[in-house]
Every structure is written in C-alpha cells, then in structure tokens.
Amino acid sequence: MGGEALVLGFETSCDETGVGLVRGRTLLADALATSMAEHERFGGVVPEIASRAHLEAMVPTVHRALADAGATIDDVDAVAVTSGPGLTGALLVGVAAAKAYALALGKPLYGVNHLAAHVAVDELEHGPLAEPSIALLVSGGHSSLLLVPDLAQDVQSLGRTVDDAAGEAFDKVARVLGLPFPGGPPIDRAARDGDRSAIGFPRGLTGPRDAPYDFSFSGLKTAVARWVEARQRAGEQVPVADVAASFQEAVADVLTAKAVRACRDHGVDHLVLGGGVAANSRLRALAEQRCAAAGIVLRVPSPRLCTDNGAMVAALGSRLVAAGVAPSSPDLGADSSLPIDVVSR
Amino acid sequence: MLVLALDTATPVLVAGLARWSPDGGTSVLAERAVPSSNRHAELLTPAITGVLADAGLAMGDLDAIVTGLGPGPFTGLRVGVVTAAAVADARGLPVYGVCSLDAIGSGERTVVTDARRKEVYWAAYDHGGARVAGPGVVRPEELARPGPFVGDPVFEGRLGADVAAAEVTTAGLVRAAEPQLIDPSSAGALVPLYLRRPDATPPTAVKAVSQA
Ligand SMILES: [Zn+2]
C-alpha cells in the first residue's frame, strides 16, 4: 500500500476544473470547481468562459485537493491530465498546468484519454475492472459504447452518437419544457411524477438495418419539441411530468438495450456506466433490471464520480503507472478529438 | 536572484533565465524565443528545460518567476500564465505578472502586436520607458499615436507609419517586473489582460423546431 504511487490528476475538458489525488486504487481527494452557473444563461457551455474559469480555479483547486488528502505537493509521484477529447482552449489550461507541475516536481507526466478515465474511476469504488468489460459513457459531451479488453492500453470504440450527445438532448428538452440548465437533474425530478409510457417518443437507430451500437438523439429531441409545441398551439396545458418521463424512458431504453446487446454480442458479462447522464435514476434502474435479466454484472460509480472530475484522471494515471506504460513526451499538447483507442499519449 | 521569465502573448513564446539584483541590474543567462503560433502548450515546458540546460542550472536554483499577462490571443496567453502559476506553486516561489507589451522595445515608443480580427493590442511609453497609455485594443487606422512604433511590422500599411520589428524579451520582462521584484508586496494577482469579453450571446428565445 505504502509502495504505491501518489498520482495527481487534472481534468479541464469542459466546464469542471477537477484535481484529484489517488494512491493505487484509493481515492484521497477529488477537488472540483465549476463554471456551470456562468454558462446557465447561454443554455450551454461557452468555451471561452470555461477556459477563463479553469485558469482562475487551477492553483486553488490543487491546494484544496492536497489539503483534503493531507498531502503536500512534494508527496506527488506522478501527474496525469486529460489531453482530449474536449474543448481545446479548456483542455490546454489543464495540460499546461499539469506539464508545469510535473516539470517543476521532476515527476513523470501522463496525458490521458477522458473517456478511458470515465471507466477507470469505477476502480476507486468497486476494485479492479473485469477485463474485458463493456462501458457505456453518456454525458453532455459524449455518448459512447466501448469494449475494454485492457484499460491501460487497449480500449476499442463500438459505437457513438451520430448527432447530439445524450446530455445535450436533456438540456434541449429541458429548455422546451421551461426547466433549468443543465437539463439532466430537473428532468429526472419532473419525471418522478410522470407516466413513462404516456407518449411513445421515437427510439433512434433501433431498426434492423441501423448500426447496432451507434446512437442518435436529434430526432428524439425534435419529436419532443414538436409534441410540446402542438399542445401549446392548441392552448392546452403541457403535461411536463409525462413528457419528461416519456423522453427519459426513450433515452434509457435505447442506451441500455444497445449496451446489453454489446455485452451479448461480445460475450462480455461486465458493464460499466459513466458520464453525467449515468446519474439519471431511470437509466440506472433500467440498466440494473436488464443486466440482471441478462446475467451481466453492472458497475456504476456514485453520481459524484460519474460526472467529470480529477479523480478519474488520477485513477487512470495510477493504472498506467502500475502497468508500466511509458510517460508522455515533453511536447504533449491537447487534442480536442483524441480517438478513444489512444488511452494515453 | 535567479528569475525564470515566460511569455506566450505573441506567436513567439519566450522562456529566459536572468540573474537580477536591485543594485547590479539584470544579466540574461539563457533565452529561447520559439516561433510556435498555436503550439505554446506543446513547446513551453521544453523551452524551460532548454534554458535551464543552457545555463547549467536546475529548477531548484530558481528564486522567482515572471510572466507576461498579455494582452494576447487568449488560448496561448493562458498557457504561459498557468505554467508560471504552477511552477511557482510547485516550487514555493513568488510569481510576478507584467503587461507583455512593456517587455517589447525600450524608451519612448508605441508598441503594437497582433490582436487578430483586424485589430492591434497597443500601449504607449514616454522617454523614460514608463507606460503612459494603454494597454488597449483598436483598429490600427484608429490608433492616434505619434510613434515611433515598435512591434509587429505587418501593421505598417494600416498604421501609415514605420514599425520597427521588436519582440518580447527576457530582459524586457524582468525590467517590467522590477518594481515587484524590489517590493514583492506590490505584486498583483495573475489575471490575464484579456481586454475583450468572451464571445457569447444568450439565446433570445426558444426557437421553434417545427414550422407552423
Ligand atoms: Zn466526461
């Protein structure tokens, strides 16, 4: 235990400034600053506002993480940072900071893939990942289905959204229903009092000839907006709870059906959920039900670790250190569209 | 004291090492000026490693960090500022921010650098080198300054005047930081000189997705 490396992880791919500390698979600190409130009136994340906030929050967030862990900066053995995918300007603040800490401390640096980090974080709560696993990652920025034979160096993309990320659809539907941004939590809350079979919203890309593991949420989002507008034009009350519940059901149905199918097709009996949308109560419930029926072990990190944070980056960094993967070169940069098969670079 | 000076406010990133003392002045030990356009994040830490090697010194020898706060294109600018803040934090060193334009040229002058969007960042200095106007951002045609101009010669035509080519230097950064090096309590926060608000407009109303 004492022999394991203390890894400092940085995450700045979107609007959360995350700094985490992990030793082995033990979570020591998960400090977070968010600029979410500043984006609220724009109905989405404004990259320049997020980048400015990252710079402001960086050093104070490192201090908070160290204080939470009862560690000093000199205790750090390795530094990890999200190198992509994400918003370029936002990524660069974290990459530059991580490179500077690593250089100043004389410690190795690992530039890592944000999506793989979403999978790695589950090891902090549920122990070593079963390999291979299937991972379903859904957030405002991504919707991906992955096959993970070896988290340290072999992660494969099975499918992804062809248009909007699932989280974006939540944001847009929330706006149509007059609910606040970000849309995930208020829709989840509104749906509690609704009937999820009230409205049969479309399930995108579920036809026999569609790509089995790709997602599409644009048509669903438009269908919800049309349905709501039609009620409004007719001067009728919009049943917000029923719309929210039926929309949420359509999203959860497609996501879980495709994830379970990916497990079956690949003979994999472990499924990991991650990303902010994994905090959605209906998605979790339906995933549990369908995984149980299919004999699949479902692993879902606690909601706090599902959303973007620094601990997930430290967790993947820790895994890379343990696996003896070579650190990044000194000219590491950010890659906004880093492919998923590049776990570290 | 040994000072590490950094700047990423222009397309040429600067990393330099200087020996500074209140009475002995500044001597630059090593300097790298790297044309890097939008690759500041990739190239800055290698440049720091490079100047330390050039001078035969190590991280542990540093006494203070000086960094340009711009104005400059935001994405690259932040790379230098956060790097300076992080190195200083990791080593427990003081860090001093300066206006990057102060580090370009010397004496009486108006400094102009590329602000993109057909504008320049500018500041004006008196014969003693003290900044008397700016920093600001303006279309070169509207910059009513007498000159002489130094900085980016690409704007000669639109200024209607000669511009002597000059870039950020280590000596210029240390010179600009001198008041803070002498009196560390005068150091300000490391806040970039953005001069422009973020591009963002709130959505006016929910757009209808279907036609009537
Ligand atoms: Zn994410």
- Identity of the residue in A88, A97, A226 whose CB atom sits nearest the CB atom of B86: A97
The rounded Å distance from CA B134 to ligand 1 centre is: 41
pLDDT number for residue A20: 98
Question: Given a cut of 90, is residue B199 above it in pLDDT?
Answer: no
pLDDT number for residue B208: 43
A226 within domain boundaries: yes
Chain B residue numbers with beta carbons less than 8 Å from the beta carbon of A56 are 191
Residue A252: CATH number of its domain: 3.30.420.40
Closest CA to B99 of B7, B15, B165, B197: B7
Question: Given a cut of 70, is residue A248 above it in pLDDT?
Answer: yes
pLDDT number for residue A35: 87
Mean pLDDT of chain A: 96
Q: How do beta strands B64-68 and A297-299 pair?
A: unpaired
pLDDT number for residue B38: 87
A338 within domain boundaries: no
pLDDT number for residue A193: 96
- Angle of helix B40-55 relative to helix A88-105, nearest 10 degrees? 20
Chain A residue numbers with beta carbons less than 8 Å from the beta carbon of B59 are 103-104, 106
Tokens at A177, concatenated: 């229903």
Contact assessment for residue A269 and residue A263, using Cβ atoms and an 8 Å cutoff: yes
- Are residues A85 and A29 part of one domain? yes
Closest CA to A134 of A255, A266, A316: A266
Q: How far is B161 from chain A (nearest CA, A)?
A: 34
In chain A, the residue whose alpha carbon lies closest to the alpha carbon of B93 is A104
Contact flag B41-A333 (C-beta cutoff 8 Å) = yes
State how many domains chain A has.
Answer: 2
Cross-strand pairs, A29: A21
pLDDT number for residue A235: 96
- Percent of residues, chain B, with pLDDT higher than 90: 88
Comparing A44 with A176, the larger pLDDT belongs to: A176
Measured CA to CA, the distance from residue B149 to residue B155 in angstroms comes to: 10
Phi and psi, residue B119, nearest 5°: -125, 165
- Percent of residues, chain A, with pLDDT higher than 90: 94
Contact flag B78-A93 (C-beta cutoff 8 Å) = yes
Tokens at A230, concatenated: 């039609």
Contact flag B75-A88 (C-beta cutoff 8 Å) = yes
Token pair 């590329």: residue:
B114
Q: What is the pLDDT of residues A64-104, one digit of tens each?
A: 999 999 999 999 999 999 999 999 999 999 999 999 999 99
Comparing A1 with B110, the larger pLDDT belongs to: B110
- Percent of residues, chain A, with pLDDT higher than 70: 99
A330 within domain boundaries: no
Domains, chain B, ordered by start: 1-104+167-212 (3.30.420.40), 105-166 (3.30.420)
Comparing A106 with B202, the larger pLDDT belongs to: A106
Q: What is the pLDDT of residues A203-220, one digit of tens each?
A: 999 999 999 999 999 999
User: pLDDT band at residue B203, thresholds of 50, 70 and 90?
Assistant: low
Token pair 């994994």: residue:
A278
Residues of A with CB under 8 A from a CB of B: 41-43, 46, 48-49, 51-52, 55-56, 58-59, 62-63, 73, 88-89, 92-93, 95-101, 103-106, 175-176, 222, 225-226, 229, 233, 330-334
- Identity of the residue in B42, B82, B203 whose CB atom sits nearest the CB atom of A55: B82
A341 within domain boundaries: no
Please give the residue range of the domain that contains residue A63: 6-125+307-323
Q: Any residues with CB less than 8 A from the CB of A3 and at least 6 apart, and which?
A: none
Q: How do beta strands B149-151 and B109-114 pair?
A: parallel
Tokens at A298, concatenated: 């479902």
Mutate to test the interface with B, among A13, A40, A92 (most CBs of B within 10 A): A92
pLDDT number for residue B165: 98
Cβ-in-10-Å burial (0-12, 13-18, 19+) of B158 comes to middle
Binding residues of A for Fe cation: 114, 118, 308
Measured CA to CA, the distance from residue A45 to residue A236 in angstroms comes to: 33
Amino acid at A235: G
Mean pLDDT of chain B: 93
User: pLDDT band at residue A39, thresholds of 50, 70 and 90?
Assistant: confident
Measured CA to CA, the distance from residue B85 to residue A60 in angstroms comes to: 11
A252 within domain boundaries: yes
- Are residues A150 and A96 part of one domain? no
Chain B residue numbers with beta carbons less than 8 Å from the beta carbon of A108 are none
pLDDT number for residue B147: 83
Contact assessment for residue A224 and residue A243, using Cβ atoms and an 8 Å cutoff: yes
- Are residues A147 and A292 part of one domain? yes
Question: Given a cut of 70, is residue B209 above it in pLDDT?
Answer: no
Contact flag A51-B59 (C-beta cutoff 8 Å) = no
Question: Given a cut of 90, is residue B201 above it in pLDDT?
Answer: no
- Identity of the residue in A58, A89, A176 whose CB atom sits nearest the CB atom of B85: A58
A342 within domain boundaries: no
- Are residues A181 and A73 part of one domain? no
Cα distance from N-terminal residue to C-terminal residue, chain A: 27
- Are residues A229 and A205 part of one domain? yes
Contact flag A58-B45 (C-beta cutoff 8 Å) = no
Contact flag B82-A62 (C-beta cutoff 8 Å) = no
Comparing A45 with A331, the larger pLDDT belongs to: A331
Helices H / strands E in chain A, number of each = 12, 10
